[in-house]
Amino acid sequence: MAEVKPEEMVHHPPMDQLQGFEYCIDSNPSWGEAIGLGFQHYILSLGTAVMIPTMLVPLMGGNDHDKAKVVQTLLFVTGIKTLLQTLFGTRLPTVIGGSYAYLVPVLSIIHDRSLAQIADGHTRFLQTMRATQGALIVSSSIQIILGYSQLWAICSRFFSPLGMVPVVSLVGLGLFERGFPVVASCVEIGLPMLIIFVVLSQYLKHVHVRHVPILERFSLLVCIALLWVYAHILTASGAYHHTALHTQISCRTDRSNLISSALWISIPYPLQWGAPTFNADHAFGMMAAVMVSLIESTGAFKAAARLASATPPPAYVLSRGIGWQGIGTLLDGLFGTATGSTVSVENVGLLGSTRIGSRRVIQISAGFMIFFSILGKFGALFASIPFTIFAAIYCVMFGIIGNGGGAILSAVHQHELYAQPLHCWFFTLSWLIDTRVLFSVYDRCSKWPGAHEGWMVQ
């Protein structure tokens, strides 16, 4: 076979190249700019890393010190999982963080009678955490087997562009309950954050400083700094002394006691809460969340590839990424993060907002996660940012992801659109969103008949 001459070698650019991208996966900005962008991704990941432990640890019976330690552990493991995924998994610029899909099975473990009857709060927290760890360790085997056996690659071959549109769109649109409803809980902070962020990132993005579009790339940091100072002034002036507890949790910068409870230096390690306990009921409940996270991550990987201006990931790459995500869930179980792994949707949206798809930026952000999780006081300082500020950011980021799903239609041949009308995927998308909202509302209101009567089991 004749050798290919160098002049005959043709470089194939990324398919469906997006406009305005200066740095793709393998092209890197300067070190100073990359560090700033990486820190921005780290700040954005704090929303999920703080919100999940804040919701779960008090229900487990833990105190503020336990909550601070779980936050540090989740950030530490998130950094490790992100490095593994960007180095050996899909190698896409994605942050692998905690997942809200695991809240329901974890709450089921918390309300287990054998655990709920423990009188001492700290003992109940340790026993509940160990039960959660055991369920995560067992359920991680699903993603590991599906990923490394390439079974998920076989399934992925049937994911046509038209079929992936509702999946990718649901990844963004299905999470809006973490956006506008949380903004409404503290309008005096959330609404200004939303308006300023939209104006800076969308309408003033062409403002350059020394030929660098500073507002397009760093508008998130600028807005968070401004509104964080504003929220701290409101807190220090006593504006929330006589407000409801829910308002104080959403608005105050000192509501979580993370700074006072965190240690100066603390290195998370496996089995730090004790030996995991294993229960079949807990494991099967967690497996359902693993399947939800698996589908959600597949859609997020597709969206990340598009927003990073990369070629669509092949089936075997997606399967390999799911396998490494299973390793991440296993690490969650070993370290005790109280939740499993998924692709951080908000960080994927930030790729589209900054138009920087560099893999190095995400790896630098993983370094920040590990560093500040070890230096607990400094990490807790950044974690004191009110949830409402993150919720305002989510409103924009989730919209970018949802738009990315609809934009996949540009890769669909016009004849296929006529053969399979658009109402097919509109129906699928609306059905998925309605189903998600249905279970969310009925679970929140405790009116779902199967929750108490056991009719599903019968």
Degrees, nearest 5: CA angle 114-119-122: 95
> Phi and psi (nearest 5°) for 179?
-105, -90
d(CA 138, CA 141): 6
Q: Is 315 exposed, middle or buried (0-12, 13-18, 19+ CB in 10 A)?
A: middle
pTM of the model: 0.84
Domain ranges of the chain: 20-440
The whole-number pLDDT of residue 212 equals 76
d(CA 311, CA 16): 8
The whole-number pLDDT of residue 410 equals 57
The whole-number pLDDT of residue 430 equals 59
Long-range CB contacts for residues 248-252, cutoff 8 Å, separation at least 24: 249/387, 250/182, 250/185, 250/186, 250/386, 250/387, 250/388, 251/185, 251/186, 251/188, 251/189, 251/386, 251/388, 252/386
Of the CA atoms within 13 Å of residue 174, those in its CB half-sphere come to: 29
**Average pLDDT of each block of 10 consecutive residues along the chain (458 residues)?**
45 48 80 93 91 90 90 95 95 92 90 89 94 95 93 78 65 69 85 91 80 84 91 85 77 74 88 93 90 84 83 88 95 95 88 88 96 87 84 83 62 49 55 55 45 34
The whole-number pLDDT of residue 458 equals 32
